[in-house]
Amino acid sequence: MDIKEMIRNGRTALGIEFGSTRIKAVLIGEDITPVASGSYEWENQYENNIWTYSLDMVWEGLQESYSRLAEEVRKQYGITLETVGSIGFSAMMHGYMVFNKEGELLVPFRTWRNTITAQAAEELTELFRYNIPQRWSIAHLRQAILNKEEHVKEVDFLTTLAGYVHWKLTGEKVLGVGDASGMFPIDTDTKDYNAKMLEQFDGLVAKEGYPWKLKDILPKVLTAGQNAGILTEEGARLLDVSGRLKAGIPVCPPEGDAGTGMAATNSVAVRTGNVSAGTSVFAMIVLEKELSKVYPEIDLVTTPDGSLVGMVHCNNCTSDLNAWVHIFKEFMVTMGLEPDMDKLFGTLYRKALEGDKDCGGLVSYCYFSGEPVTGFEEGRPLFARSIDCKFTLANFMRTHLYSSLAALKIGLDILFKEEKVRADEIYGHGGLFKTKGVGQGILAAVMGTPVSVMETAGEGGAWGIAVLASYMKNKAEGECLADYLNEKVFAGNKGSRMEPDPADVAGFDEFIKLYKAGFPIERAAVAELQ
C-alpha cells in the first residue's frame, strides 16, 4: 500500500537510459529502491561505413521501454501510472547529431563507435593542447568541415543522444556537464565550455564563413541538481503513447552513461572511480589534480557536478565474448538441450577461474570496431594460440575475459604508473560483473586496486539517472551530490569487495605481453579480412 500511494502521489523518480544494446527505464521510490522497470533491446547498424541508430528506433525504444514499465506498475500495484516526481534521460556519450533550424537531422547519427575523425582529433589535440578523442562531438564537427560536407553550413544545433531526447521532450537545448565534457572541453572552474578553446575553434574555421559560432550551436551546460525544464504536453505524448502520463513533470539535466555510472556507483568524490563494462568499457577516476601532460589514451571529462575525471575509454569489451557464449548456446540447441542463458553465462564465466593465470598461451582480440587506445582504426574479432599452448575450455574463456579488459589495462597503466594517480576503491558495474566474483576479480587484477560491486550495479545507468533526477527534486539546501549519495543513497551499502590476487596480477601482466606481441596478427586481419 505504501508503494501504491507513493506512485499515485508522484513521490518517485523515473530514469531512462539509452545503452548500446538496451534501452532501460527504472522507476524508483523515495528510498531510491527500484519499484518497476521496463526495457527494449536494440542494436546499432553499420550503414555506408557509419555506425548509427535511426531516429525511428530511438522513439520506438523509448516508448516501448516506458510502456513495459507502466504495464509492470499496473500488474504489480494495480494502478495506472499517470505522474512521477521527476525524470532524467541519459545515453551513450559523444557522437554527432546535428540539426538545422527546422529541427531536421542533417546526417545520420554518428555514434561514439565510429573511428573516422583521426585527422580532426589530432589537429584539435595539438591546437588545444588537450586530448580530443575521435569519439568527441567536436572532432566529428571538425572532420565534417575538413571533408567539406555540405550540411555543415546548415547546422543550428549539435548535441548528443541524451541531449536530443531531452530537447524533444522538454523543448530545452541543454546538457549535463558530464555529457557536455564528451562534446567539448570543460573549464572545471566555471563548469562551462572552455572559453579560450571556443575562441580557438572559431578562429580555426573562420575562413569557412559559416553563419554560426560554436557556442551558439552547442547545448547550454547544467550541473547535477539544476532544473533542466519540464515535460511538455508534446513530450508527454512522445514518451507515453497511451496518453495517460501528465505533463509538467520536472526533468533533470540529461547525462551521459559515464556520469550515470558514477552516480550509480557512488564514485563522484576525489580518489573514487568506477568501471563500466558492457559493449564498450571505460574507467573513470576522479582526479586530485590536472595531469602533467596530454595523453591520447586518456580523456579528461567531468563528474555530473563538474569535478575533473581521468577516463580511459575502449570501444570494445564484451561483444566478442558474448558471441562465443552464443556459439555454446547453438551447440546446446543442436544437441537438443534448452539453454538457460543466465546459467550458461555463469557456468562459462566460472569455468574461466580454473584456467591458467596467464591463459596458457592463448590470445584474443575483441575488436569489432577500431580501438584508439591500442592504435587500431578498424578491428576484426580474432582468436589465436601457440602450437604448444594449453588449449582448454577454462583457458579459452579466461582469454576472452582478459581480452575484454586488455586495452583498458594499457590505458590505466598510464594513469597509475606514469601519473601516480591514486584510487582508494573502484566500483564495477555492467554486464561483465553479473556473475559474482569473476569479472570483479579480473578487474581487481587489472587495476591492482580493490573492486566493489554494489547490489544496485545490475540496474546500471537507468537507476543512476533516476538517482540524479531524485537529487534534483529532493536535495536539501546546499547539499552536494557526493553527500546526497553517501548519506541518502548508499548509506550502509558498500557492496561486495574483492582485493587483487597477486597471482592474477602477475598472470594478467604476462598475458598483456603476448597481447601486445600479437598486434601484427590483428593488423593483418584488418588488412585481409573484409
Q: Are residues 121 and 194 in the same domain?
A: yes
Average pLDDT of the segment spanning 425-444: 89
Q: Are residues 308 and 415 in the same domain?
A: yes
Q: Are residues 423 and 391 in the same domain?
A: no
Share of residues in the chain with pLDDT > 90 (%): 87
Distance CA 327, CA 311 (A): 33
- At residue 178's C-alpha, the angle toward residues 481 and 372, to 5°, is 140
Q: Are residues 101 and 154 in the same domain?
A: yes
pLDDT at res. 459: 61
**165 domain-assigned:** no
Decide if pLDDT at 494 tops 70: no
Range with lowest mean pLDDT among 196-210, 288-302, 347-361? 288-302
Q: Are residues 354 and 488 in the same domain?
A: no
Residue 118: give its domain's CATH number. Answer: 3.30.420.40
What is the per-residue pLDDT across 18-76, written as a single tens digit (0 to 9) for each? 998 899 999 999 989 999 999 999 999 999 999 999 999 999 999 999 999 999 999 99
pTM, full prediction: 0.85
Asked if residues 240 and 84 have their Cβ atoms less than 8 Å apart, the reply is no
How many independent structural domains does the chain possess?
3
**328 domain-assigned:** no
**301 domain-assigned:** yes
**Which band of pLDDT confidence, cut at 50, 70 and 90, is reported for residue 1?**
low
CA distances (Å), 316 to each of 20, 312, 459, in order? 11, 12, 21
Q: Are residues 361 and 388 in the same domain?
A: yes
Q: Are residues 380 and 476 in the same domain?
A: no
Q: Who contacts 245 (Cβ-Cβ below 8 Å, separation ≥6)? A: 70, 81, 82, 83, 231, 236, 239
Decide if pLDDT at 224 tops 70: yes
**69 domain-assigned:** no
pLDDT at res. 401: 97
Average pLDDT of the segment spanning 318-333: 97
pLDDT at res. 11: 95
The SS3 of residue 294 is coil
User: In 3D, which of 133, 137, 42 has the Cα closest to residue 95?
Assistant: 137
Decide if pLDDT at 458 tops 70: no
Q: Are residues 378 and 457 in the same domain?
A: no
Q: Are residues 101 and 195 in the same domain?
A: yes
Can you give the length of the chain in residues? Answer: 530
What is the per-residue pLDDT across 109-128, written as a single tens digit (0 to 9) for each? 999 989 899 999 999 999 99
Any bridge partners for residue 463, and if so which?
none
- Cell, residue 284: 573513470
**436 domain-assigned:** yes
Q: Note down the domain range covering 204.
A: 94-159+184-217
pLDDT at res. 399: 98
**472 domain-assigned:** yes
Q: Are residues 209 and 143 in the same domain?
A: yes
**344 domain-assigned:** yes
Q: Are residues 474 and 434 in the same domain?
A: yes
Q: Are residues 494 and 506 in the same domain?
A: no
**58 domain-assigned:** no
What is the per-residue pLDDT across 251-266, written as a single tens digit (0 to 9) for each? 999 999 989 989 988 8
